[in-house]
Chain A
Amino acid sequence: MILLSSPHIHGGNSIRKVMFSVILSLIPATLFSVYLFGWLSFLIIVSCMGAALVSEWGCLRLMKRPIAPMFDGSAALTGLLIALTLPALTPWWMTILAAMFAIILSKQIYGGLGYNPFNPALSARVILLISFPLQMTSWITPMSVDHLLNLYDFSIASQLFFFGVQSLNTSLDAITMATPLGHVKTALSQGISVPDALAHYPYHWLDAFIGNEGGSIGESSALALLLGGLFLLGKGVIRWQIPCSFLITVALLSLISSLIAPNQFAPPLFHLMAGGLMLCAFFMATDPVSSPVTHKGQLIFGIGCGLITWSIRNFGGYPEGAMFAVMLMNCAVPLIDHYTRPRVYGRAAS
């Protein structure tokens, strides 16, 4: 006799549905990255997703586990997320390495889906940044691309992807520029005030909002990411607690600091639109596996992420701190969950 425990009906949600709605929500950002960087974006995304799937398959085979989890969408999503955090000039082998880091070292080693303490895509990105700082901080200038290199030409893009800038007889400096965050950081270290630095930067914050600026292929457009994030919120896949508390904390801290010392601290809109903040707030910090379960915990988690991001951006060695912030807060998740359990029905608050 089969023992089947109640309930005997199910709402119909599944891991695959969750993962594919996140992939769906990343479509605007993905399309925008292809618009900005042409075939180069396409190659990076395909190679990351492919490598992620192959790594997942290899791990499951090695551990003699069923292959089915390979198709639940989580590996594909991890691959896509890493791709979106990479600069357009990332060479092919580095994209594959990133996917392998993510799937093997930060997911399967811990026992596969559901057991990883850190967001796999984010930790792979951090490993890459620390291991290859030069390649990870060379950003193509989106607008210079058109007349110097036609990335919509597949042969040029693939040559760049497989053989690097040198093979095209172009110097790195001619096609790259600093990101807004990097630009401000460098300026401050040279004693230039923030308003002066921003005045000399070719882009307005509105460009950053729409996406016409240097940066990782999927991070450029705050608008595209916001659309995806709102879609996920509407579908109930993510909850408002983490992205809102994350973004509001960064905004508030930068507002206060820029009011007190406008020469040292950039204003809130600049911070909100720049770097990987939007991607991290809506897609990385909200990764269910590595974020708190309780609502109160999610608020604390988001506030912590915002605080660390702002601190690293303003006082740290790196221009961008969002991904470090999320990873640091990932460490605190079990503790946060334990202390923020909701008050149980009929019991006094514990």
Chain B
Amino acid sequence: MLKSLRSLFQPKVTGIYPEKHKLTATAAIAEAPLSSHYILPLKQHIGEICTPLVRVGDRVLKGQKIAKSQGYLSAAIHAPTSGIITKIGEHAITHPSGLSMESIFIEADGNDQWDTTLATLQDWKQLEPSILRERVRLSGIAGLGGAVFPTFIKLLQDKNHPIESVILNGAECEPYLTNDHRLMVEHSEEIVLGLQMILHMVKANTAIIAIEDNKPDAIACFQRIITAQELHHIEVKSLPSSYPQGSEKQLIEFLTKKQVPAGKLPLHIGLICQNVGTTKAIHDAILWGKPLIERVVTVSGDAMPNPGNMRVRLGTPIDQLLAWHGLENMDGCHLIHGGPMMGERLGHAHAPVVKATNAVLAFLPQTMMAAHKEESPCIRCGDCSQVCPASLTPNLLADLCRQDQFEKVADYHLFDCIECGCCSYVCPSHIPLVHYFRYGKGQLATIKREKAFADESRQRSSAKEARIQREKEAKEAAAAKRKQARAATAPVTPPTQPTEGQS
């Protein structure tokens, strides 16, 4: 009774139930043809940029490491095919403002010849977790769900926080996206094997494969394998098809009823989450010695002539990928990199496919404009608070961001916003709430940076003053010492009275 009363005060986090538009749910993954050239940006992950290992004119083999990670939080980059390095320089990346980044250009030689330096680890069950983890690190694997966090870090063991359970994230809650879905249907055995490798690496006992109930075929595939192989420690769980069901923290809350404390990671409550695509990549790297050079991309949207799922090599120019799906002229449509809820709009299609590219969508202008209507005043209906998976009060937060009240913004926990877009989706006034939150976060980061810089300058200048003072004091001390020395020696050697010794 008390609990049900309490639940009145703590509304259940529900998110939204958008139209899922899974146009490509039954389209088998097609193999992409070889492109004439590939462009590999040096940073395709969260963390530090890579350093090129090759020079212009070098010949590289497929799977050869062409850029190494620099620093800890980083993921190496490998050549997607054999060919010649033609250029290392700036190129447009999948950024909404059309920013560019240092990239490696490879001209394919058409042989697609494999580099065979990486051994296959068939006996992974006998190997130390650290060896497997090193393989994951060397293979340049980063979270393929879209966050692209270097995977090996997630697989590290922490003595204080033993991992009890691994959650395999097959929710794929973004509308239109079916790349994970197809991967689960077509490669369920490899994914289950990859999951067992993860369990081995983090020494966890149980695993949950979490899939939204709009993918019954994928659920059936996993259930069949688990029954056949008697994997009693792995459980398949069906999730309601809401959004953002696949968001790590929300998924954990749904499955375990536990919340990841703010500022902590899932491992602090004994869990890790891995995307199904990442798990397949881990399997490929360990069992087949294959680094991350390709991924499955959903190409869809209402302006796409032939939507489908395709296994695409990283570095494939997006215009090339679209051309393979019948979209040659992009003037009349809007391109989205990622899902429609969290993806960014691309100004052009020159950027290449990167590790984060789970989808490229093309929308008709009228579809896009129906979503991006002119903003009206907030009528405080509270729908945004109702759907916010982080239990924020988006309308109040957006007001504060708009008024640049950044001290208050922290109190309203702006940085707990996961930018899922549920608030903007339900807003009857079409307020681009997420946009305001990004602005607020950006401004706060700038303020923090400027403050750090000012503090540093202040410290520098006070250090300088201290140094000058010290030098001055030292000089004075030295002068005094000299004077003293002179005074002390003066009676011994009076300059005006020559002594015997001197003469």
Contacts and interface: CB of A to CB of B under 8 A. Distances in A.
Contact of B428 (A17, A111, A292): A17
Contacts of B390: 344-345
A7 B385 contact: no
Contacts of A292: 382
Nearest to B363: A8
Interface residues of B, number: 69
Given A1-B347, A114-B377, A345-B416, A7 B371 contact: yes
A347 B430 CA distance: 29
B434 A5 contact: yes
Given A13-B428, A344-B262, A344-B392, A289 B344 contact: no
Contacts of B16: 11
B391 A343 contact: yes
Contact of A3 (B11, B96, B253, B393): B96
Contacts of A299: 8-9
B334 interface: yes
A7 B260 CA distance: 25
B383 interface: yes
B462 interface: no
B246 interface: no
A197 interface: no
A58 interface: no
A11 B424 CA distance: 9
A344 B377 contact: no
B11 A295 contact: yes
A261 interface: no
A191 interface: no
A343 B261 CA distance: 12
B52 to A, nearest CB: 30
Contact of A342 (B363, B377, B393, B435): B393
B13 interface: yes
A342 B392 CA distance: 7
B76 interface: no
Contact of A7 (B8, B342, B377, B393): B342
Interface in A265-307: 288-289, 291-296, 298-299
A126 B43 CA distance: 64
A11 B97 CA distance: 26
Interface string A18-46: 10000000000000000000000000000
A154 interface: no
Contact of A14 (B343, B363, B378, B430): B430
A10 B391 contact: no
A3 B395 CA distance: 22
A7 B425 contact: yes
Contacts of B345: 2-4, 6, 8
B253 A9 contact: no
B381 interface: yes
A346 B438 contact: no
Q: Of residues B11, B383, B416, B428, which shows the largest number of chain A Cβ atoms within 10 Å of its Cβ?
A: B428
A5 B430 CA distance: 12
A13 B371 contact: no
B18 interface: yes
B18 A9 contact: yes
B10 interface: yes
B382 A294 contact: yes
Given A15-B379, A18-B379, A4 B372 contact: yes
Interface in B1-31: 8-11, 13, 16, 18-19
B18 A11 contact: yes
Contacts of A3: 96-97, 345
A69 interface: yes
Interface string A36-64: 00000000000000000000000000000
A345 B253 contact: yes
Contact of A13 (B344, B377, B419, B427): B427
A295 B391 contact: no
A9 B98 contact: no
A201 interface: no
Contact of A9 (B371, B396, B419, B427): B371
B485 interface: no
B432 interface: yes
Interface hub of B8, B18, B96, B382 (most chain A Cβ within 10 A):
B382
A112 interface: yes
B383 A9 contact: no
B488 interface: no
Nearest to B394: A293
Interface of B: 8-11, 13, 16, 18-19, 96-98, 175, 249, 253, 259-264, 334, 336, 338, 340-345, 347, 363, 368, 370-373, 376-383, 385-386, 389-393, 395-396, 412-413, 416, 419, 421, 424-430, 432, 434-435, 438
Given A8-B336, A8-B341, A114-B378, 5 more contacts: A5-B435, A8-B372, A345-B390, A346-B264, A346-B416
Interface of A: 1-15, 17-18, 69, 72, 74, 111-115, 239, 288-289, 291-296, 298-299, 337, 341-347
16 contacts: A5-B432, A6-B343, A8-B336, A8-B340, A8-B341, A8-B368, A10-B371, A114-B377, A288-B381, A289-B380, A294-B382, A341-B412, A346-B261, A346-B262, A346-B416, A347-B262
